[in-house]
Amino acid sequence: MRIDSRKNNEIRELKITNNYLMSAEGSVLIEMGNTKVICTASVEESTAKHLKGTGQGWITAEYGMLPRSTATRKTRDASRGKIDGRSMEIQRLIGRSLRSVVDMKKLGERTIWIDCDVIQADGGTRTASITGAFVAMIEAMKWMKEQGMINEIPVTGFVSAISVGIVEEESMLDLCYQEDSRAQVDMNVVMTDKGEYIEVQGTGEESPFTAADLTELLALAAEGCRQLNQAQKAITGDI
CA-CA distance, 229 to 219, in Å (whole number)? 15
Q: Are 93 and 190 in contact, with CB atoms under 8 Å apart?
A: yes
The DSSP line for the chain is: --TTS--TT-PPPEEEEES-SSSSSEEEEEEETTEEEEEEEEEESS--GGGTTTT--EEEEEEEE-TTSSSSPPPPHHHHTS--HHHHHHHHHHHHHHHTTB-HHHH-S-EEEEEEEEEE-SS-HHHHHHHHHHHHHHHHHHHHHHTTS-SS--BSS-EEEEEEEEETTEEEES--HHHHTT-SEEEEEEEETTS-EEEEEEEESSS---HHHHHHHHHHHHHHHHHHHHHHHHHH---
126 is in an annotated binding site: yes
195 is in an annotated binding site: no
Q: Which residues contact 27 (CB under 8 A, 6 or more apart)?
A: 18, 19, 20, 21, 38, 39, 40, 41, 136, 139
17 is in an annotated binding site: no
Enumerate the known binding-site residues for phosphate. Answer: 86, 124-126
Enumerate the known binding-site residues. Answer: 86, 124-126
